[in-house]
Chains A and B, each alone.
Chain A
Amino acid sequence: MNARIRQPTVPWLVRVAAVVVALAVLVILPQQSTPYDNLQITLVAAWAVVIAGLNLLTGYAGQISLGQAAFFGIGAYTTAITALHGWPVVLSFALAFLLPATVGALVAIPAVRLRGHALAMITISLPLVAVPLAKRLDGLTGGSQGLTTPIGSAPTWSGLADDQWAYYVVLTVAAALLALAHVAVRGRTGRALSLIRTSEVAAVTTGIPVRRYKMVVFALASGYGGAGGFLYVYCVRFVSPESLDFLLGITLLCSLVVGGLRSSAGSVVAACFYVYVPNLVGDINPEKSSLIYGAVLLLVLLFAPAGIAGAARGLWRRRKLLARKLATSWPAPSTPTGYLAVAGSTETSQEENGGLTPTRSTASNPSSKTR
């Protein structure tokens, strides 16, 4: 039943409707909710960009990277420092994207010769270098104290509070970046990446310049990490060496897997997981938070190995089958036909059918009437 892989899994119209509804909710939301909630949603958007970058590299190109935290850090520090020097915010953003992308491309030169776990090992070293560097260069980075930076204040003409302004800016930029990433991995490029992920040898013989692809994806993923760092600083206005700890790289990878590889929606789910689950777990029992976090992770991997987005896609694909199952089990066989008869004119025909024939059970479930 899982065998069929249809390309547009969810119909086009449903997708558009979902996006429109989501947009409407997201536009109205900050007017109604507290600054804390606004900040949380803004953070989800910022991390979604970081994770979308990782998804390009790990999900699509199949290159495991634990170093995304370092590129996030470069982006965040670039933003903080340039904002402190009064640079225009657009320039800060451009630099927060380009600088990590360049570093990423440089790292990629040796790294593309490696694959799988060897690449993962190399990328671990990046945050291990970045954190002490951020602490030592205290003239530039403020050392262990970190940097507080004046960015993301709402202009007076907008009439918005700072948190609302940051919310709108960060969500808009994040949406644009996610859309770009979504488009970038479709068609020819997406197929090339999926063959590289499957087998580099097969990819080369099909005419795909594997190393060039890996370098570009590595640079792009790093740029997304940096852009996420910019968005993070834009709403938090603070960065310190702790925020690019090397555990972050591992947590991001875990979140991506939980959210779902190779799915744009998966990156957003992953960011929600990254931002909200530690809070939720802390609320349940602050002492055992890592334990509960780990248990959640294991549960997702056991029951939804393709991540939450993958599981949702699977459910959607099998919805007819599931609806049929529900229909046969839900209206219990013992239900007196009399009750059904008053429910509506469509039920009358079932009386003639009688018994538990499939036609009856499917027809009495409203969710399956579309067929």
Chain B
Amino acid sequence: MVLPALSVPADAQPPPRPELLAVRGVSLRFGGLAVLSTVDLTVRAGEIHGLVGPNGAGKTSLFNCISGLYRPQAGSINLDGADLLRCPPHRLAGLGLARTFQHPILDQHTSVLENVLTGTYTCQDSAAVGRVFHPRSALREKDRRRQKARALLAYSGLIDVEDQSPGTLPHAEQKRVELVRALLAEPKLLLLDEPAGGLVHSEVDELGELIRRIRDDHGVTVLLVEHHMGLISSITDHVHVLAEGRNVTAGTAAEVQRHPAVIESYLGSAP
């Protein structure tokens, strides 16, 4: 489905990377309220892809559709060839999808390390029977996961607080804890919902650096909802704009910011 407002320069880059996430014609209604109307979104492997738009544009709703929390009434969502809308929500993590939330959701009663280890849930062998019969290999496996978690905590500058309760950490660090938990699920696509929300200027720069390193070092594709235009401009390869639940435009950050429809949806049209 091609929309008139959409003007993607399809042949901008010579070798197009393979499509990882393909959202096609997704429509979501809550009763009479149309939250998303035939939204399309393509994220290519290895990209950092920004999803922007004014408040109420449906960015988080689209995120919730992709991560299986909302069921759109129409359209399709594919991740690396798998139809996400046919999967129960808890299967999506196993297909390579992980996300963070606008406000970090962490258990205050356990340590940072235990919190991030929750992310390894889908990577673990669930068969308790196997653990009984192969205790040695199960222990090695457990050790390996723990080491990987600690390595990622060190990578994100959180190793010093690994045995603290997340509640004692500053907001920016809590967000990084959530990020590490998501990464430990070994996702192909990482969804970040307003990662810079509530951060001060220097923290935003650090975060941008971290996201870029994650993409480069771990080969994770990133899709982020963000209001912080500085962050969007500095790290994204591609930006998709939504307004009032519809596609507005897509392109590089610079292209999108010059687009009249984008200026209109943020500032209103000139008389």
Contact = CB atoms under 8 A, between A and B. Distances in A.
Contacts of B101: 201-202
Q: Count chain A CB atoms within 10 A of each CB in B90, B99, B109, B122 and give the residue with the most.
A: B90
A204 B122 CA distance: 11
Interface in A1-31: 2-7
A188 interface: yes
Contacts of A206: 93, 98, 118-119, 121-122, 181, 185
Contact of B89 (A4, A192, A197, A205): A205
Given A201-B69, A207-B92, A262 B109 contact: yes
A140 to B, nearest CB: 37
Interface in B87-137: 88-94, 97-99, 101, 105-111, 114, 117-122, 124, 126
A191 B105 contact: no
A191 B113 CA distance: 11
Contact of A4 (B68, B88, B107, B164): B164
B149 to A, nearest CB: 11
A209 interface: yes
B60 to A, nearest CB: 12
A266 to B, nearest CB: 13
A177 B114 CA distance: 25
A1 to B, nearest CB: 11
Interface footprint category on B: 35 or more
Contact of A194 (B91, B107, B119, B126): B107
Nearest to B108: A198
Contact of A6 (B105, B120, B163, B181): B163
B165 A202 contact: no
Contacts of A204: 68-69, 89-90
A108 interface: no
Interface string A169-213: 000000000000000000110011011011101101111111000
Contact of B114 (A3, A191, A199, A202): A191
A194 B109 CA distance: 9
A6 B165 CA distance: 9
Contacts of B106: 198
Contacts of A194: 107, 109-110, 114, 118
B142 A187 contact: yes
Contacts of B163: 4-7
Most chain A CB inside 10 Å of its own CB: which residue of B119, B121, B181: B121
B202 interface: no
Q: Give the one of A4, A6, A210 with max B CB within 10 A.
A: A4
Contacts of B93: 205-207
Given A5-B165, A204-B69, A191 B94 contact: no
B90 A207 contact: yes
Contacts of B109: 5, 194, 262
Contacts of A188: 120-121, 124, 126
A106 B90 CA distance: 22
A210 B168 contact: no
B118 A192 contact: yes
Contacts of A5: 109-111, 114, 163-165
A202 B91 CA distance: 13
B174 interface: no
Interface in B126-181: 126, 142, 163-165, 168, 181
A4 to B, nearest CB: 6
B94 to A, nearest CB: 6
B164 A3 contact: yes
Contacts of B69: 201, 204-205
B67 interface: yes
A210 B124 CA distance: 16
Nearest to A207: B93
Nearest to B110: A194
A7 B111 contact: yes
Contacts of A4: 163-164
Name, among A3, A188, A262, the residue most crowded by chain B CB atoms within 10 Å (CB to CB).
A188
A2 B105 CA distance: 21
A187, A191, A198, A201, most chain B CB atoms within 10 A: A191
Interface string A236-264: 00000000000000000000000000100
Contacts of B185: 206-207
Interface string B4-22: 0000000000000000000
Contacts of A191: 110, 114, 117-118, 121
Contacts of B110: 5, 191, 194
A188 B110 CA distance: 13
A3 B168 contact: yes
Interface of B: 67-69, 88-94, 97-99, 101, 105-111, 114, 117-122, 124, 126, 142, 163-165, 168, 181, 185
8 contacts: A3-B165, A4-B164, A6-B111, A188-B124, A201-B69, A205-B99, A206-B121, A206-B122
Given A5-B114, A191-B114, A209-B90, 13 more contacts: A3-B165, A7-B114, A188-B124, A191-B117, A194-B118, A195-B107, A198-B108, A201-B69, A201-B105, A205-B89, A206-B122, A206-B185, A209-B88
Interface of A: 2-7, 187-188, 191-192, 194-195, 197-199, 201-202, 204-210, 262
